[in-house]
Structure 1
Amino acid sequence: MGSVSGILCSFPWLILIFVAHTGLLGLMNLCLCASPQFGRQLPGTMVRMNVLADALKSINNAEKRGKRQVLIRPCSKVIVRFLTVMMKHGYIGEFEIIDDHRAGKIVVNLTGRLNKCGVISPRFDVQLKDLEKWQNNLLPSRQFGYIVLTTSAGIMDHEEARRKHTGGKILGFFF
């Protein structure tokens, strides 16, 4: 629709043909649909569906490109705790939370050790006895990589959850 209205505005004689063919109501409808204040999404804007997935995808892409740092926005408690688990195991360097009085930003220092990280959506319930199955499906080998769970005792990796003898919902993985 936007391209048609752009063409009509560029060629005024085309408006006369368009009005003759569709009537004045068709022209008004075209103009209303093409204007941004009537609920049409502006080009280049995107609605964020999963903030954690966007953050981990940004880290993955920056790591593949060989970057030393990556900026993540917006900031959330879940992202910060996920990054803390990654930092504890040495897969990323330190990170800094920047409060910009909006949604916040995080600057993550990359070490080059991370191969892949991702989100599991939907957040499946994982019992302690099923953890081995998820480990085999998600991680490349037995002693390599971690699954991140959110439990009643907080966000932790699968080994800590096994030590604390607790299950939870699966957030994602990294290796």
Structure 2
Amino acid sequence: MTDPIADFLTRIRNAVKAGHKVVDIPGSKMKREMTKILKEKGYILNYKFEQDGVRSNIKIALKYHPETKAPAIRTLTRVSKPGLRRYTNVEDMPRVLNGLGIAILSTSLGVMSDKEARQKNVGGEVLCYVY
């Protein structure tokens, strides 16, 4: 696998389109941090990190509207790819859907959302957009 973050996003995107309640994803530190951000911002219900020997796994409970069954995650877009990295500074930080969505960034202070990065006055690599 050449791009594990794209695989992470694609698994979530496919599970949402299929209407699944839970999705299993092979774990890594970057994916754990991205999962925590998705939970903090209200895009997923819950998550669970499982460790069996060397392998780690992430179980994510997807969030849907109780009446309309519409998913909380409408779009997941990979921005920075292995072939073309996208970096931004604080002044040029992207606003996703005019502030209604989030951008997940990998900064020198760790993985965080665009709002946190603006508060801490730090830029970095734009991993993905979520809305």
Q: Smaller-chain TM-score range?
A: 0.7 to 0.9
- Picking from 106, 118, 125, the partner of 1:162 is 118
Shift of 1:118: 2.8
Other-structure match for 1:41: none
2:90 is matched with which residue: 115, 125, 128?
128
The Cα RMSD (Å) is 1.2
1: CA distance, partners of 2:38 / 2:85: 19
Match of 2:52 in 1: 100
> Which residue of 61, 86, 89 corresponds with 2:41?
89
| Alignment-derived partner of residue 11 in structure 1 | none
Counterpart residue number, 2:69: none
Aligned residues: 121
The runs of 5 or more residues in structure 1 that have no matched partner are 1-47
Q: 1:60 aligns with which of 13, 19, 29?
A: 13
* Residues 98, 105 of structure 1: 8 Å contact kept: yes
Question: Normalising by the residue count of structure 1, what TM-score does the alignment of the two structures yield?
Answer: 0.65
The answer to whether 1:146 aligns with 2:102 is yes
Q: How does 1:73-88 map to 2 (within 5 A)?
A: 73=26, 75-88=27-40
1:119 — aligned with what?
78
Checking the alignment, whether the CA contact within 8 Å between 1:57 and 1:118 is kept in structure 2 is no
- Distance in 2 separating the partners of 1:49 and 1:103: 18
Give the Cα separation in 1 of the matches to 2:117 and 2:6: 22
In percent, how many aligned pairs have the same letter?
Answer: 27
Give the distance between the partners of 2:122 and 2:39, measured in 1 at CA.
22
User: How far 1:102 moved relative to its partner?
Assistant: 3.1
How far is 1:156 from its partner? 0.6
- The normalised TM-score by structure 2 is 0.86
Unaligned runs of 5+ in 2: 65-71
Q: Report the structure, 1 or 2, having the larger strand content.
A: 2
- Displacement of 1:105 in angstroms is 1.1
Residue 80 of structure 1: how far off its partner (Å): 0.5
